[in-house]
Structure 1
């Protein structure tokens, strides 16, 4: 029952994130006088709607996104293009269909309220407003958690000592087999509760700094620890072994290995700490989005029974399942479960922010790029005293937009199948 409740809570949280995103587009479009005929959460058949003023608000059957419909997204056809419009080219048909759909809601009294007529900077604001709303929501959630609850921060105090050396991809629950070689930390005599003061003659103040030093070290290394109020030196013979890369569970590298895990404590962050942490989250999210094409072989393998890595892409189904798993687990306290669910929701919003900034149609970033290019082109023409080139016709990019959409749909279906047959699990 808790799994089902968690799935539903997280699912509706995702729907709210989508609606919140579209609200940014809606509010700024109306602010600049653009007529908006539809505000919809979801795609496909409408299951509920209500018209208020000139805009129809509703929910559609397929809850994998949302949109607002603004009139006049594309400029009218130029005179010199009229002859080419009779071409039987499928690309030309795509362009003409997109232009027709954009113009079909335009009434004579609305001729001055079309999207393409707005200044490039206004169009950039309208298209950026959706992703920025996701960023605002993510920052709000993360800030409340980081400043009110705190961030789990590893310390220099030892929590556990690995008894032996296991393969890098071994599960956390795997026991040491008979005759297994002791880890360097176990052989050196480390104990839980030891606080590391110096490593290889250098003092350290954070676990992150120490971890980097351990990973690039090898051979015999002296380590000063504080145990029961007294300092003593332990000698560890570090080995080189394959370990997951930092911030990854699916990529590995050969590094120095000691065999310790740190004790973590909750540390409430100030504004500077919040900014640094969110900056790291944004950077990591952007990195993972760039790596999406590399995940295709892993997703296909997972569908046919292979391992599904914890950092594998997930869709709305997979994310909702994670929410159910978090709420139902008994491995952490109830308040920690709630915090983790909000962290997941904030992470989704951060992903929506970064992903929508990609300069590709039909994403928001594609429209931003088109408006920015128009701004540059018009500014240059004005500078060299040439005729105004007019609005940039993004309709001519619709064949590319359809191709990108097909790629996104195919990738989404691949993730959906993987989420169903071999979902990502946290515990």
Structure 2
């Protein structure tokens, strides 16, 4: 069941991405020949107007084929009035940006739904205090509630780490214990630890773990929009940095995941509940948006690059250049896909 949910999630995200292209193309009067969810053999096709709507056998992608635009053969062009090729470069760029924009919008709407459904957050209660740690030496105890750090109010457990790492020198901490307030002073310990990218970084700790005591925060109308915006920006920044670090070699390519990992983790998220599924679906949606903006021929980012070239030079790249760069892009994408699948299999085998 989890795998079916994962495939459904991927299909919905792909549909929204292609719907973005479709909507912008139709706005500028471009004819859409095919709107397909999936690749390979068509399992279902219905022609509505001049567009063939299809569901294909391999649900690992999708495409919108506009008149005069074919990634499999960039030399197939059309100069009819309703063709993609006859539109101005800036119009084509808008059409290309509409797909990734739809993914970012989808993520925003999912985060907005999460905000109104209620976001689970850990309360700032202490569970374990590591022996001989700064917290232990300062007298922090189990079930203490941390109220303030250096004059900044603490509402949730996540606020504690932020304030510890944002501070310099010693900390002045106000806690609640047995309905009484106490003031503690302690100096965090600096350690080396791995960040989300697997890099070694320095961070400040005091040696405590959270008590599994949480609340659900339901945001108001305007606060929900801010939460959704912040989470979308945070996820986008994380993905952009991940891609950048992969390209520069700061993060090893063995960290790259493929379709098997995506399906596996999405299936797990579906078992964990609707909130977990929404969180992970939003992250995948942002991932699709960011990756499609990469300047690789055959991706939206590559086509945007070609159109920017045309805007600056006043003429499009030659058909030979377009053809060979597109073929190179497909080879690169295939290599990345196989690398991701190889890493997936390697992880599954332990």
TM-score grouping bracket, smaller chain normalisation: 0.7 to 0.9
Of 125, 132, 138, the residue aligned with 1:158 is 125
Cα distance, 1:237–1:113 mapped onto 2, change above 3 Å: closer
Instruction: State the alpha-carbon separation in 2 of the partners of residues 27 and 249 from structure 1.
Output: 36
Preserved CA contact (<8 Å) 1:138 1:350: yes
Q: In 2, are the aligned partners of 1:218 and 1:256 still within 8 Å (CA)?
A: no
Once the two structures are superposed, residues 84-141 of structure 1 have per-residue CA deviations (whole angstroms, 9 ceiling, x without a partner) of xxxxxxxxxxx9x9354x14xx5xxx73332111122221221112112212211111
Cα deviations by residue, 1:143-166 (Å, 9 ceiling, x for unpaired): 1111x12334455x23422435xx
The answer as to whether partners of 2:42 and 2:54 remain within 8 angstroms in 1 is yes
Deviation at 1:259, TM superposition (A): 1.3
Match of 1:347 among 251, 275, 283: 283
2:241 is the counterpart of 1:241: no
- Asked if residue 149 in structure 1 is aligned to residue 117 in structure 2, the reply is yes
**Structure 2 match to 1:418:** 343
Offset at 1:258? Answer: 0.7
Deviates more, 1:348-357 or 1:210-219: 210-219
Residues 14 and 316 in structure 1, CA contact (< 8 A), matched pair in contact too: no
Counterparts of 1:422 and 1:351 in 2: how far apart (Å)?
21
Could you tell me how far 1:215 is from its partner in structure 2?
3.7
When normalised by structure 2's length, the TM-score is: 0.83
Q: Distance in 2 between matches of 1:6 and 1:204?
A: 43
Equivalent residue number for residue 358 of structure 1: 294
Measure, in 2, the Cα distance between the counterparts of 1:394 and 1:258: 62
TM-score, scaled to structure 1:
0.70
Q: Distance in 1 between matches of 2:294 and 2:108?
A: 20
Tell me, which stretches of 5 or more residues in structure 2 are unaligned? Answer: none
Match in the other structure for 2:9: 13
Structure 1 residues 188 and 136, CA gap change in structure 2 (3 angstroms): same
406 and 264 in structure 1: CA distance in 2 versus 1, 3 angstrom threshold:
farther
For 1:296 and 1:184, locate their aligned partners in 2 and report how far apart those are by CA, in whole Å: 32
* Aligned match of 1:129: 98
Which position in structure 2 is the counterpart of 1:402? 327
Shift of the 341–212 alpha-carbon distance from structure 1 to 2, 3 Å rule, reads: closer
Structure 2 equivalent of residue 254 of structure 1: 202
How many residue pairs match? The answer is 341
Conserved 8 A contact 1:38-1:55: yes
2:82 is paired with a residue whose SS is coil
Q: Aligned equivalents of 2:169 and 2:238: distance in 1?
A: 32
Q: Please say which of residues 391-400 and 283-292 is displaced more in the overlay.
A: 391-400
Structure number, greater radius of gyration: 1
**Residue pair 1:158, 1:191 contacting (<8 A) in 2 also:** no
Equivalents in 1 of 2:312, 2:22: separation in Å? 26
After TM superposition, list the pairs within 5 Å mapping 1:316-331 onto structure 2: 316-328=259-271
Contact residue 9 and residue 281 of structure 2 kept, 8 A:
yes
Matched, 1:375 2:311: yes
Task: Give the structure 2 partner of residue 69 of structure 1.
Answer: 65
Note the C-alpha offset of 1:347: 1.1
Whole-Å separation in 2 of the counterparts to 1:205 and 1:233: 14
Supply the distance in 2 between the matched residues of 1:30 and 1:123 (Cα, whole angstroms).
Answer: 12
Flag the 1:43–1:249 CA change in 2: closer, same or farther, 3 A. Answer: same
